[in-house]
């Protein structure tokens, strides 16, 4: 008799838990060799993966441009996935690292040691590269992983997963070390989130609706970010050519991702010099501008700049739409970002060191930048090889999560017969 979905998922999670024991014993050299084989396998199976991706894209052709961009793979993106696995192989293995060691007056020797978290479940939407990145990071950090991708990327995810699973099997690794839930039945997420006897951590990657659903349904600890409402503030003492380049990159390089700029703030004293050219370049790139009354006045057109609403400043567009606000001073910019932002990534462009320090200290976000694009909030860009996700939480992990963030710690206590009196 065919097992029902709940039973199947429980069995997957149980095997993943069992696999953790063997993963924790693997040497760094062995794990690195497997990761290199995985990278080679992705490249050798490129045509199979691209064929599967084309099928997903054809089924999703009614979706918007930003969605298709997140879903799409090409030869370069597959190479980038392979390169990420190679980069992870080069990184120091955190498992077994002694974080602190000391002796007590009673003769006990104590070590605080990094260990894997255990079983990590990743619930994600339409980016197939997440499949390879998460498998690589979890494997290197000694965690079993259960992947549940979005239905729109199912064919791509399966092709990538099967490619990497073959490598795991070739190296005789535990069956439950990597897992992909292939069903499109939405109940799968609900069942998965209740398996707290087996799963230690859930990381949702996707839109706010998905993340809120995971948080509200989960019996398992969740690390997440709800939105990516990222700001760039152009200060009165900014290099305006630099500011223009940073703002263009932050919005246009990949507008559909969570670290793209959604709102641009400009100091009143430079607005008349900065905004006309900046808005012209955005319009030429097809960006819809929603601005404050002063922005409309500078643009000299309410048709070219739509009046921004309160909701616009709280919206993650993930598209070619940008909210713009002219602010009186640095304090007003900081207050606006802390009120309307999502504590993800925010940047100041300025040559004033005092203004820079104040911004860096007072903005309550996971990543705060000086004179750089918000698009660098990424595990690969931070030198982590890849990322398991980006957290705006404040406990355990914050910002891009790499190998260290996929570990916890335990205390090893060595004695010689001591008893407490």
With beta carbons less than 8 A apart as the criterion, state whether 229 and 343 touch.
no
Cβ 146 vs Cβ 13: under 8 Å: yes
Tell me: the pLDDT tens digits for 254-293? 898 899 999 999 999 999 999 999 999 999 999 999 999 9
305, two tokens: 């700049």
Distance CA 394, CA 372 (A): 23
Specify the 3-state DSSP secondary structure of 400. Answer: strand
Contact indicator for 390, 88 with CB cutoff of 8 Å: no
Residue in 295, 289, 293 with CA at minimum distance from that of residue 270: 295
Average pLDDT over every residue of 44-59: 96
HSE-CB at 48 with a 13 A cutoff on CA atoms is 13
Q: Which pLDDT score, from 0 to 100, does residue 301 have?
A: 66
For 229, the token pair is: 């409402």
Question: 3-class SS at 51?
Answer: helix
Both structure tokens of 135: 């498998």
What is the C-alpha separation between 322 and 263, in angstroms, rounded? 6
CA-based radius of gyration for the chain:
24
Is the pLDDT at 390 greater than 70? The verdict is yes
Asked if the model's pLDDT at residue 45 lies above 70, the reply is: yes
Return d(Cα 120, Cα 108) in angstroms, integer. 33
The residue ranking higher by pLDDT, 209 or 412, is 412
Convert the pLDDT of each residue in 322-337 to its tens digit.
999 999 999 999 999 9
| 306 against 64, higher pLDDT | 306
Average pLDDT, the chain: 94
Pick from 341, 339, 371: which is nearest to 356 by CA? 371
The whole-angstrom distance between residue 269's C-alpha and the CA centroid of its chain comes to: 36
206/346: higher pLDDT: 346
Segments of 279-366 assigned E as strands: 288-291, 305-307, 321-327, 345-349
Cα 335 versus chain centre, distance:
26
Measure the CA angle with vertex 249, ends 244 and 255; round to 5°: 130
Alpha helices in 238-314, H assignment, sequence order: 240-252, 268-284, 293-299
- Backbone φ, ψ for residue 272 (5° rounding): -65, -30
Ranges of each domain in the chain = 5-224+393-414, 230-376
Angle of helix 129-140 relative to helix 154-170, nearest 10 degrees, comes to: 30
Residues in Cβ contact with 225 at an 8 Å cutoff, skipping those fewer than 6 apart: 211, 258, 342, 343, 344, 366, 389, 390, 391, 392, 393
Mean pLDDT is lowest, of 202-211, 306-315, 350-359, for 202-211
Helix (H, G, I), strand (E, B) or coil at 249: helix
The single-letter DSSP state of residue 418 is -
pLDDT at 227: 87
What is this structure's pTM?
Answer: 0.87
Neighbours of 35 (CB within 10 A): 26
Give the mean pLDDT of 21-31. 96
Measured in whole angstroms, how far is the alpha carbon of residue 281 from the centre of its chain?
A: 29
Q: What is the rounded average pLDDT of the residues 175-190?
A: 94
Whole-angstrom distance, CA of residue 349 vs CA of residue 266: 10
Q: Answer whether 232's CB lies under 8 Å from 349's CB.
A: yes
How many Å apart are CA 289 and CA 323, to the nearest integer?
A: 6
388 touches 130 (CB < 8 A): no
pLDDT score, position 60? 87
Whether 273 contacts 241, CB under 8 Å:
no
Q: What is the pLDDT of residue 386?
A: 85
223, 211, 215, 326: which is closest to 278 by C-alpha?
326
Instruction: Average the pLDDT over each of 35-49, 91-105, 314-328, 383-397 and give the range with the smallest value.
Output: 383-397
pLDDT value at residue 302 = 57
Q: What is the DSSP letter of 113?
A: E
Match domain 5-224+393-414 to its CATH number in 3.30.365.10, 3.40.50.150, 3.40.605.10, 3.20.20.70.
3.40.605.10
> In this predicted structure, what is the pLDDT of residue 1?
34
More confident residue, 208 or 403: 403
Lowest mean pLDDT: which of 16-25, 297-306, 340-349, 395-404? Answer: 297-306
State residue 208's pLDDT score.
Answer: 84
Q: How confident is the model at residue 61 (pLDDT cuts 50, 70, 90)?
A: confident
Q: Are strands 230-234 and 201-205 parallel, antiparallel or unpaired?
A: unpaired
CATH entry 3.30.930.10 includes domain 230-376: no
Give the Cα separation of 88 and 66 in Å (integer): 28
């Amino acid at each position: 008799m065919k097992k029902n979905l709940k039973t199947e998922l429980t069995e997957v999670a149980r095997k993943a838990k069992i696999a953790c024991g063997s993963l924790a014993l693997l040497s760094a050299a062995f794990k690195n060799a497997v990761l290199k084989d995985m990278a080679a396998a992705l490249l050798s199976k490129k045509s199979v993966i691209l064929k599967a991706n084309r099928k997903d894209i054809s089924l999703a052709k009614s979706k918007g441009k930003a969605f298709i961009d997140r879903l799409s793979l090409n030869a370069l993106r597959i190479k980038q996935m392979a390169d990420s696995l190679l980069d992870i192989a080069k990184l120091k293995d955190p498992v077994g690292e002694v974080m602190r060691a000391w002796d007590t007056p009673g003769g006990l020797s104590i070590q605080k040691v990094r260990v894997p978290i255990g079983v990590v479940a990743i619930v994600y939407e339409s980016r197939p590269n997440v499949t390879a990145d998460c498998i690589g990071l979890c494997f290197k950090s000694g965690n079993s992983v259960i992947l549940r991708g979005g239905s729109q990327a199912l064919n791509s995810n399966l092709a990538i997963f099967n490619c990497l699973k073959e490598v795991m099997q070739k190296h005789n690794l535990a069956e439950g070390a990597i897992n992909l839930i292939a069903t499109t039945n939405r109940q799968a997420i609900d069942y998965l989130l209740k398996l707290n006897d087996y799963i230690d951590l859930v990381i949702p990657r996707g839109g706010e609706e998905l993340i809120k659903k995971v948080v509200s349904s989960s019996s398992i600890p969740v690390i997440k970010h709800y939105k990516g409402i990222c700001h760039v503030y152009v200060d009165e003492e900014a290099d305006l050519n630099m500011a223009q380049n940073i703002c263009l990159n932050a919005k246009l390089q990949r507008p559909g991702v969570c670290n793209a700029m959604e709102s641009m703030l400009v100091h009143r004293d430079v607005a008349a010099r900065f905004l006309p050219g900046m808005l012209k370049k955005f319009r030429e790139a097809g960006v819809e501008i929603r601005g404050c009354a002063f922005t409309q006045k500078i643009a000299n057109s309410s048709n070219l700049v739509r009046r921004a609403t309160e909701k616009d400043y709280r919206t993650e567009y993930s598209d070619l739409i940008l909210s713009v606000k002219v602010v009186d001073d640095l304090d007003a910019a900081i207050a606006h970002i802390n009120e309307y932002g999502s504590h993800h990534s925010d940047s100041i462009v300025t040559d004033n060191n005092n203004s820079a320090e104040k911004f860096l200290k007072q903005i309550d976000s996971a990543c705060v930048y000086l004179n750089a694009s918000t698009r660098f909030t990424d595990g690969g860009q931070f030198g982590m090889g890849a990322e398991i996700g980006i957290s705006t939480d404040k406990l355990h992990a914050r910002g891009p999560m790499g190998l260290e963030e996929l570990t916890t710690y335990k205390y090893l206590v060595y004695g010689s017969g001591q008893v407490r009196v």
